[in-house]
Amino acid sequence: MPRCSCGQPWKPATISFGQPLVQENLQRAFRAAHDCDLFVAAGTSLVVGPVNEMASFAHGNAARIAILTGSETPYDPLATWKVEDRVEGVLPALRDRVLA
């Protein structure tokens, strides 16, 4: 996996704000949200569309919603689980517990 100069992993296949989304990927993601039992949103405020709409789309199809972010989101009322904390602290701890 590539690393940035700070030594942390670098994910080069990201979309920055204002860049167009790849429609095939977006359609695939909405299909997955439609079919999922659990929708997880981590490290996002869920305020930028169309991706934020996936939470209510999944909820409308009976999925449970888990949100992990350092702030409130407009989708908090839909959440089955909400952890308001920093993703960079929670995810490594969760990984460690799962792999233990």
Q: First and final CA of the chain: distance in angstroms?
A: 23
Q: Give the tokens for residue 47.
A: 């305020």
Closest by Cα among 50, 46, 51, 47 to 66 = 46
Tell me, what's the pLDDT at 30? 94
Residue 68: enclosing H or E segment and its boundaries?
A: strand 64-69
- Give domain limits for the chain: 23-99
Asked whether the whole model's pTM tops 0.85, one would answer no
CATH topology of domain 23-99: Rossmann fold (3.40.50)
Give tens-digit pLDDT for 44-76.
999 988 888 999 999 999 999 999 999 999 999
